[in-house]
Amino acid sequence: MSVLEPKTSFQRIFLPTLAWTIAIIFFFPIFWLVLTSFKTDADAVKPEYLFIFQPTLENYMNMTENYDYWRFAKNSIITSVFATAFTLFVGIPSAYAMAFNPSRHTKDILMWMLSTKMLPAAAVLYPMTFLTKNFLGVFDTHFLVIIVLSLINLPIVIWMLFTYFKEIPKEIIEAGKMDGVNTWGEIKDILLPLAWGGVASTALLCFIFCWNEAYWTVRLTTTEAATLSKLIEGNRAPEGLFFGRLSAVSAAAVGPIVVLGWFCQKQLVRGLTFGAVK
Amino acid sequence: MAGLTLRNVAKNYADVNVIESIDLDIKDGEFVVFVGPSGCGKSTLLRMIAGLEDITGGTIAIGDTVVNEVAPAKRGVAMVFQTYALYPHMTVYKNMAFGLKQAKTPKDEIDKRVRAAAEILEISDLLERTPRALSGGQRQRVAIGRAIVREPSVFLFDEPLSNLDAALRVQTRIEIARLHQRLGTTMIYVTHDQVEAMTLADKIVVLRGGNIEQVGSPIELYETPDNMFVAQFIGSPKMNFFKAEDLTKKGQAMLKGDVDRLGIRPEHFTTTDVKSALVVATPDLVENLGENALVHCITEGGMEFIVKTTDLTKFKQGKKIGLTADKARVLGFNSTTQKRIG
Ligand SMILES: Nc1ncnc2c1ncn2[C@@H]1O[C@H](COP(=O)(O)OP(=O)(O)O)[C@@H](O)[C@H]1O
Ligand SMILES: [Mg+2]
């Protein structure tokens, strides 16, 4: 903007204050969570120790020694990485086909895919548990978690990729056809280099969704394939509320993804706004 | 090098018929221009030849081979797109080399051909740039270069000049003509601009609504258009059509048999006295272009038309004037069939 206008006091004082207030309101629970994770379970529930307390690493030690944190973390990484990879593996060709060779049903298919997200997950909880446990015998396996995470995220991933691919002029792909590349070459040599930013944003977002997924990962696993969501869930109730311990587990579960998100902020914003911000 | 044969070629999108049935022969080495108003199916026809669009009916043969089911790159054609469609993530060199690489051409052969094409197009010093860093005219050259290196037997151009400014358009037009002279390869060129068509073509194909209106050399289309559409589409300003009430007695005498319209081009009028005139007109407005002028006149029947003249002294605003034309330049049409008679 080239026109310099004196800022009104509204812009100078009110807006920043509002922004900070909102940011603090949103940030406070996380701050509180991290703080609590350094308290003993006894201190955690005492209001007088809200900010001032004797910090301890006991909860974290406890977590890695007694609760097998690393196994859950490993499962989270394995399932999220493979689910993201698989989702892209299926999603990229699908979105490519819909963006560059649309049929008259393409719009309907896209809508239909999105509509699957409107089905309440609880509605299929019983059949899913029953089938995977009693018939398919895949309950509590990495395979099941990967497939479920992939299927949950596939619609949104295809939608995002479709939006990015749509931005690429059709003629460039056609020029590739004239130059003799096959379909795989079109994707590898032309589409992906051009849509790289969009694909990366999509992958990142998909990974985060996989990592954070709790509804199914908690219900379809017990020990073998249990992820960090399950670890939090498992520390929640049985012996009463151990806030310190629970906080440590939670902080350790969300920590990696927060760090990842921090480093990839730019990509994420682009991803979340569907490329509207360039 | 090869000619093309199109037989009953048709194209439907879902249930919309875009190309009805086209028969066309293109000789080896010919420069053919598809011209017609926007939406008439020029690009669709070109893209069917390129292989980018399925052919709904009929056959397209390049040389002696029917190519309906042949992949674009295997047809021996190269296309220059309206938007250039360069690969934004590759340098100019890689853009030009990409097709040859796909065809597994040896590296030194690729290098030789890319550099030779760059030489012809005077883009040798741009080879390491990306398309982003090029002007519109330079991108256009790269797009042509990408086509040249593949040494196709047919070049396809889809409105290649429409994204350039006026001066560059004329210059590039001349360069394309020169390129054709030099390579002698068959070229098919799509445009909606009749001037481009007239200046470039050996053979013009006038299209309208998915049908061929007429095929012929520029001069044939200009002098003997088959119908009123072609007569008006070729030539600028457009040919004027006069019906009985716009004509003098002498003019009306030329409406014989089925002829109910006389077509006269603006540049073919000469002034005369009212008695021997074909049309008596009142000059209304003058557009002076320097070397000549366009005089907008109104007939006695109240129709507006245009006279192109180099001698403005004869035309006085509001003062009736007689206009005639060489008999051979006056064409008779039937307004019902739209056909030229005689
Ligand atoms: N993919 C498509 N689906 C439906 N109609 C199309 C499609 N592409 C082109 N058309 C229609 O076909 C006609 C011819 O288009 P086109 O060949 O691009 O015209 P031109 O190049 O002569 O301007 C137009 O009426 C256009 O609307
Ligand atoms: Mg077109």
Same domain, yes or no, for B42 and B186? yes
Same domain, yes or no, for B46 and B133? yes
CA angle A8, A13, A14 (to 5 degrees): 95
β-sheet bridge partners, residue B61: B5, B66
- From B217, B233, B249, the end of a domain falls on B233
CATH label of the domain that carries residue B100 = 3.40.50.300
- Residue A240 is given by DSSP the state S
- Residue B310 is given by DSSP the state S
Same domain, yes or no, for B300 and B329? yes
Per-residue pLDDT tens digits for B214-255: 999 999 999 999 999 999 999 999 999 999 999 999 999 999
Closest C-alpha to B244, from B236, B234, B256 = B256
- Flag whether pLDDT at A158 surpasses 90: yes
B324 lines ligand 1 (CB under 6 A): no
Which CATH number applies to A69-234: 3.40.605.10, 3.30.70.240, 1.10.4080.10, 1.10.3720.10?
1.10.3720.10
For A25-39, B40-54, B325-339, which range has the lowest pLDDT when averaged over its residues? A25-39
Count the helices and strands in chain A (H runs, E runs): 16, 0
Per-residue pLDDT tens digits for A26-64: 988 888 888 888 988 878 777 777 777 888 888 888 888
pLDDT confidence of residue B188? 97
Distance CA B63, CA B2 (A): 5
- Flag whether pLDDT at B162 surpasses 60: yes
User: What are the residue ranges spanned by the domains of chain A?
Assistant: 69-234
> What's the average model confidence in pLDDT over B323-331?
94
How many residues make up chain A in this entry?
278
- Residue B160 is given by DSSP the state T
Same domain, yes or no, for B317 and B271? yes
Closest C-alpha to B192, from B182, B205, B177 = B205
- From B233, B249, B270, the end of a domain falls on B233
pLDDT confidence of residue A211? 92
CA-closest residue to ligand 1 atom 21: B43
Same domain, yes or no, for B44 and B79? yes
Per-residue pLDDT tens digits for A220-264: 888 888 888 888 887 776 556 778 888 888 888 888 888 888 888
Same domain, yes or no, for B77 and B199? yes
ipTM of the complex: 0.88
Same domain, yes or no, for B255 and B111? no
Res. B180 pLDDT band, cuts 50 70 90:
very high
pLDDT confidence of residue A268? 72
Same domain, yes or no, for B175 and B251? no
User: Looking at per-residue confidence, does A67 or B145 come out higher?
Assistant: B145
DSSP string, B187-218: EEEEES-HHHHHHH-SEEEEEETTEEEEEE-H
pLDDT confidence of residue A65? 80
Res. B67 pLDDT band, cuts 50 70 90:
very high
Res. A139 pLDDT band, cuts 50 70 90:
confident
For chain B, give the percent of residues with pLDDT over 90: 91
B13 lines ligand 1 (CB under 6 A): yes
Same domain, yes or no, for B91 and B222? yes
Res. A278 pLDDT band, cuts 50 70 90:
very low
- Closest residue to B85, CB basis, from A172, A189, A193: A172
> What's the average model confidence in pLDDT over A178-205?
91
Distance CA B214, CA B225 (A): 8
Same domain, yes or no, for B158 and B182? yes
Residues in Cβ contact with B167 at an 8 Å cutoff, skipping those fewer than 6 apart: none
Residues in Cβ contact with B287 at an 8 Å cutoff, skipping those fewer than 6 apart: B293, B294, B295, B296
- Flag whether pLDDT at A274 surpasses 90: no
- From B233, B259, B281, the end of a domain falls on B233
| Helix axis angle, A196-212 to A243-263, nearest 10° | 170
Interface A:B, Cβ pairs < 8 A: 58
For A55-59, B66-70, B321-325, which range has the lowest pLDDT when averaged over its residues? A55-59
CA of B18 from ligand 1 middle (Å) equals: 7
Please name which ligand lies nearest the alpha carbon of B47: 1
Overall domain count for chain B: 2
Task: Tell me the CB-side half-sphere exposure of residue B47, using CA atoms within 13 A.
Answer: 18
Distance CA A116, CA A154 (A): 10
CA of B22 from ligand 1 middle (Å) equals: 16
Please name the amino acid found at residue B104: K
> What's the average model confidence in pLDDT over B28-44?
95
Please name which ligand lies nearest the alpha carbon of B12: 1
Residues in Cβ contact with B147 at an 8 Å cutoff, skipping those fewer than 6 apart: B78, B79, B80, B155
Could A178 and B79 be called an inter-chain contact, meaning their C-beta atoms sit closer than 8 Å?
yes
pLDDT confidence of residue A136? 86
CATH label of the domain that carries residue B311 = 2.40.50.140
Q: What are the chain A neighbours of B102 within 8 Å (beta carbons)?
A: 179-181, 185
End-to-end CA, chain B: 39
Count the helices and strands in chain B (H runs, E runs): 9, 19
Residues in Cβ contact with B337 at an 8 Å cutoff, skipping those fewer than 6 apart: B258
Same domain, yes or no, for B255 and B226? no
Res. A273 pLDDT band, cuts 50 70 90:
low
Q: In degrees rounded to 5, what are phi and psi of residue B140?
A: -60, -45
Contact A226, A72 (CB under 8 A): yes
Which residue range(s) make up the domain with B179? 4-233
Same domain, yes or no, for B211 and B124? yes
Strand pairing category for B261-264 and B331-333: antiparallel
Sheet holding B16-26, edge to edge: B16-26, B4-13, B57-62, B65-66
Residues in Cβ contact with A10 at an 8 Å cutoff, skipping those fewer than 6 apart: none
Strand pairing category for B293-299 and B240-242: unpaired
- Flag whether pLDDT at A173 surpasses 90: yes
